[in-house]
Amino acid sequence: MTARRRKVYFDGGCRPNPGKMEAAVVTAGTVHILTDLGLGTNCDAEWVALILAVDVALDSGADDFVLLGDSAIVVAQALRVAKCRGANMQRHFDAFAAKVGDREWPRIRKIARSQNLAGIALAKTHER
Global pTM?
0.94
pLDDT digits (tens, 9 = 90+) for 63-89: 899 999 999 999 999 999 999 998 999
pLDDT digits (tens, 9 = 90+) for 88-127: 999 999 999 999 999 999 999 999 999 999 999 999 998 7
Q: How many CB atoms lie within 10 A of CB 24?
A: 28
Cα 35 from Cα 25, distance rounded (Å): 12
Cα 116 from Cα 26, distance rounded (Å): 9
